[in-house]
Structure 1
Amino acid sequence: MPRRTATMLASTLILIALLCAGVLIKVPYSEMSPGPTVNTLGKVGGDPVLQITGHKTYETSGNLNMTTVRVTGADYNMNLIEAVYGWLGHDSVVVPHDTLYPDGKTEEQSTQENAEEFSQSQESAKVAALTELGIPVSSRVVVSTVLKDSPSQGELHAGDVIKAVDGTAVKQPEDVAKLVTKHKPGQDVTFTVIPAKTAAAAEKAGKEPEGTEKITITTEKAPKENRAIVGIQAGTDHTFPFEIDIKLADVGGPSAGLMFSLGIVDKLTPGQLTGGKFIAGTGTIDDKGKVGPIGGINMKLVGARDAGARYFLTPDDNCEAAASDTPDGLTLVRVKNIDDATKSLEKIRTGDAAGLPSCSTG
């Protein structure tokens, strides 16, 4: 066999061996890529994403798209070739597996956590939108979770309204932990609550819940800490003056909060918030309308650009990363809260793009 032919054959065999090894070698990485975007002013599966009942609504136009990131599952074992391809690609990013699934979190646990965050983001989006419009929303501190085998199991229940702890009125969820930890482990703490069933019946009737009960619970020592706990997590529940239903399946996490809130504002106000333009964005939102950072910003920018967006509402804390790799044709708009966002939408609508708050790399 001629030397040149032998060399080419050997090189081919080595290449095949390397490719096979690349397929067989598993690496501890996961991939993030642009996910679908959804217009919060539009429909999905024939149903409006935002359905408002019991209050006058107005026609909308244009797009206020929430954006998503697609990630490989917790149980997916990426091979070396896939990792290298992802590293070299521009529209995806390869990250350590523990970045997406820390502490050995399973896909089921991650899905459940994302679903809970998505549900909470919807509630906060409603509160932020109505507050922005000056529409009153009543709120109360409730038991969100009762831990299994904790002192509170069987005594307190999810949905119980917490009015006071040891006679001290509770106004914020964090007040509960502060009052409980004033005790030493093994001491009693007294909760004044409205039972969940009573509260639910009152909410259904459009009334404020009444009728309290006092429940005494013996605290226990927190794992690895010398402080008293009762084994509950407190949260906030709201009563809205009319029904706002957000329908969007197969989406998780809190990052759509800003865009949901803007969609609600648009539907509840005359005129058109977008002026018919295609605007996308992302960001968590709290009850007070503050916009928080999210993960996968660069993937969301690509998804928004590919969907046709011209402007992207960007959380302040994500601005520097977004500005470092902005897709052509997409204008970044810095937002810190819902008021910033609505004012920027007004500038976009009136053609005052030069006055928009922008993002920079430093």
Structure 2
Amino acid sequence: MARPSGSAPANKLIDMSRRALTLLLAGFLVLALGVVGAFRPVPYVVLSPGPTENTIGEVDKKPVISIKGRETFPTDGALSLVTVAYQGGPAARIDLLTALRGWLDPSVAVVPEETIFAPDRDPKEVEEENTVEMTNSQDSATAAALTELKISYDMVVTVVSTEKGKPAEGKLQKGDVIAAVDGKPAKDVNAVSDAVKAHKPGQSVRFNVTRGKEKFDVTLDTVAGPKGQPLVGVLMQAQYKFPFDVDINVGDVGGPSAGLMFSLGILDKLTPGALTGGKQIAGTGTIQPTGEVGPIGGIAQKMVGAVKSGATIFLTPADNCAEAMKAVPDGLRLVRADTLHDAVQSIDALRTGKGNVPACEAG
């Protein structure tokens, strides 16, 4: 039987239309999946330059550093602390699109969530720890400045809280004073922490504790923390008795990395003449009461923040120098800071044009 004239072309048109529709639907589906996927939460954190505050300046019309009970002197220039802001975390995860934008921006870093938030830690515990670390940092900064100026003070290490399910729970209490660990005096919070870390997980640590008028020993078996380090699950704070009042006001900035700049700001206010000579100086680093400067995280983002604030000189912990050299922005001079005393000498040399100013090396 002969086919009706024109049926073949009509079938071809129908087939082409079906293919076009299929491709269109497939393309739409891919696009829809891509859009949905772009806004799906991902376990990453975006680190970017955070606020910068001049420690010898003001925040909300209030001095960052206020000193009462001791003569203070006028300052000039800037001794700025730098911070890192972050987006993300278990309680407020970023989407894939935000992470992709971060990967394309050289001024920010995108890191796995667990590098900032330990998987087995409650975010509220982390927040409390950051708050205590900032308080410890401020007190250590005051202690370091007074040590540099040879002004005496008293200090004890106290328990802030214990972590649920860890060995210290029920054995140590808020307000307990830790006088010694394994017979060695608790000179500061880090000394206690280091004494615990000197053990292997499962080994015992002996704490000499004062609770009110009672003195006794507490023996705790260490357990492995998130990175395998031994811990007993106690959050500590140094309580100082200074001969005058030092109050530091920086709002909701947390963590210990501003210690060096706090110390310099305190020291500048307690000594005649402007330490900076009017220069715009920024920097970072933890500080020990004895003046040692320790490393910090987010050095690349902090340097960007320093430049944005107008700083031309950046005080850098020695252990961060190699990393900083790889990402130093144009116009920023890196000065290595091993101790508070070294930092003061470097600033003196920069102000006067005399003396040695140690530079960071690539390593």
- Specify which of 62, 80, 88 is matched with residue 96 of structure 2: 80
The alpha-carbon deviation at position 148 of structure 1 amounts to 6.9
Alignment size in residue pairs: 333
- Specify which of 135, 138, 141 is matched with residue 119 of structure 1: 135
Partner of 2:362 in structure 1?
A: 361
Deviations 1:53-83 (A, max 9, x none): 0010000000000000000132232222222
CA pair 33-243 structure 1, distance change in 2 beyond 3 A: same
Distance 1:132 1:312 in 2: 21
Deviations 1:15-43 (A, max 9, x none): 84464144244332110000010000011
The answer to whether the 8 A contact 2:168-2:220 is kept is no
SS at match of 1:102: coil
CA pair 222-265 structure 1, distance change in 2 beyond 3 A: closer
- Specify which of 33, 39, 47 is matched with residue 54 of structure 2: 39
Q: Residue type matched to 1:72 in 2?
A: Q
The answer to whether the 8 A contact 2:142-2:263 is kept is yes
Q: Residue type matched to 1:124 in 2?
A: S
CA pair 247-28 structure 1, distance change in 2 beyond 3 A: same
Distance 2:120 2:233 in 1: 24
1:267-286 to 2 correspondences below 5 Å: 267-286=269-288
CA pair 351-94 structure 1, distance change in 2 beyond 3 A: same
The answer to whether the 8 A contact 2:167-2:221 is kept is no
The answer to whether the 8 A contact 1:162-1:194 is kept is no
CA pair 295-170 structure 1, distance change in 2 beyond 3 A: closer
1:132-281 to 2 correspondences below 5 Å: 132-145=148-161, 157-161=173-177, 170=185, 172=187, 193=210, 195=212, 213-216=213-216, 219=219, 236-281=238-283
The answer to whether the 8 A contact 1:98-1:104 is kept is no
Q: Residue type matched to 1:358 in 2?
A: A
SS at match of 1:72: strand
Partner of 2:290 in structure 1?
A: 288
The alpha-carbon deviation at position 84 of structure 1 amounts to 1.8
Distance 1:145 1:109 in 2: 10
SS at match of 2:41: coil
Q: Does 1:96 align with 2:112?
A: yes
The alpha-carbon deviation at position 263 of structure 1 amounts to 0.2
Distance 1:27 1:149 in 2: 29
Distance 1:356 1:46 in 2: 34
The answer to whether the 8 A contact 2:209-2:218 is kept is no
Q: Residue type matched to 1:97 in 2?
A: E
SS at match of 2:88: coil
The answer to whether the 8 A contact 2:136-2:238 is kept is no
Distance 2:172 2:362 in 1: 50
The alpha-carbon deviation at position 108 of structure 1 amounts to 2.5
Distance 2:318 2:142 in 1: 21
The alpha-carbon deviation at position 244 of structure 1 amounts to 0.6
CA pair 232-89 structure 1, distance change in 2 beyond 3 A: closer
The answer to whether the 8 A contact 2:88-2:94 is kept is no
Deviations 1:280-335 (A, max 9, x none): 00000011110000010000000010111010000001111111011111111110
Over aligned residue pairs, what C-alpha RMSD do you find?
Answer: 4.0
Partner of 1:182 in structure 2?
A: none
The answer to whether the 8 A contact 1:151-1:218 is kept is no
Q: TM-score with structure 2 length normalisation?
A: 0.78
Partner of 1:207 in structure 2?
A: none
Partner of 2:353 in structure 1?
A: 351
The answer to whether the 8 A contact 2:67-2:246 is kept is yes
CA pair 56-217 structure 1, distance change in 2 beyond 3 A: closer
Distance 1:326 1:160 in 2: 44
SS at match of 1:260: helix
Distance 2:38 2:209 in 1: 61
Deviations 1:232-261 (A, max 9, x none): 666643210111111111110000000000
Q: Does 1:326 align with 2:343?
A: no
The answer to whether the 8 A contact 1:297-1:321 is kept is yes
The alpha-carbon deviation at position 265 of structure 1 amounts to 0.4
Distance 1:263 1:42 in 2: 9
Distance 1:334 1:194 in 2: 42
- Specify which of 314, 317, 320 is matched with residue 315 of structure 1: 317
SS at match of 1:274: coil
The alpha-carbon deviation at position 349 of structure 1 amounts to 1.0
The answer to whether the 8 A contact 1:122-1:257 is kept is yes
The answer to whether the 8 A contact 2:146-2:152 is kept is yes
Q: Residue type matched to 1:273 in 2?
A: L
SS at match of 1:90: coil
